[in-house]
Amino acid sequence: MPELPEVETVRRGLVPAMENATIKQADINRPDLRWPFPERMAQRLTGATVKQLRRRSKYILADLSTGETLLIHLGMSGRMLVSGDPLGQFAHDHPAPEKHDHVVLHMGNGARITFNDPRRFGAMDLLDTASAPEHPLLASIGPEPLGNDFHEDYLIARLSGRKTPVKSALLDQKIVAGLGNIYVCEALYRAKIAPKRHVNNLSNTEISSLIPIIRTVLEDAISAGGSSLKDFRQTHGELGYFQHSFDVYGREGAPCHTDDCDGQITRITQSGRSTFYCAQCQR
């Protein structure tokens, strides 16, 4: 499932084609994805201007001139593809329709935004913009890791006294938004913290060290266009390439990248998910 860097990459790719542009026509080609689309979705989108494109955790939020916000979740295989952009940001003509093109937005500037999702685990909904932060999908999400509310004092307080493994804590969206399996593994490797350690055994210095490391990992991944393991594509259809820079994720049995470490990357299972780390230099 796309994590924060992939969703942010998609959001940035959509901005030139969607922000301040009007949805000339919305084609809704099925009644649902993960859950049913809202009533009269096509009519409510058609004629609306996209005032701003935001991201909250792993959701893209398009604030509309109608006072509603289009919420988008990519799910496991969802793609937002842009074609025909008159600003010259995208070199692709409009492609022929495909089987899994479930939502197509024809923008007034000539761009076309296609939501393609073979597995249909993605989602779209229309929320009242003013009350969107209180929506059940968004209300309990923790601070953005690239924002000012994610700081040393906050993380120390949130992890204080918890007996859960540090990896599980960082995957908890109520503690920090948008982190997933890939980037938690990579951040813990850079911090030299073993994923199995319980957070009540971490020093304040170790917890504090995670703040800049998490941010750097995410920023590196965004700069690389995210990670493409199976389905993820950027808005112009190309793969992200941060997967070529993984230190631990997916590298079971490979040598550790740390200088003077002769260890190998180990894979274990935590809460049903694969965890990759170097048992020799992550303590």
Active-site residue list: 2-3, 58, 273
CA 139 – CA 165 distance, rounded (Å)? 25
Alpha helices in the chain, H assignment, sequence order:
4-18, 41-45, 152-159, 166-171, 181-191, 204-223
CA 241 – CA 251 distance, rounded (Å)? 16
DSSP assignment string, 207-219: HHHHHHHHHHHHH
- Cβ–Cβ under 8 Å, residues 102 and 114: no
CA 232 – CA 272 distance, rounded (Å)? 22
> In sequence order, which residues have a C-beta less than 8 Å from that of residue 240 and are 6 or more positions away?
5, 6, 9, 221, 224, 225, 226, 227, 228, 232, 234
Kindly report the number of other CB atoms within 10 A of residue 280's CB atom: 14
CA 119 – CA 102 distance, rounded (Å)? 11
- Cβ–Cβ under 8 Å, residues 67 and 81: no
- 37 residue type, one letter: F
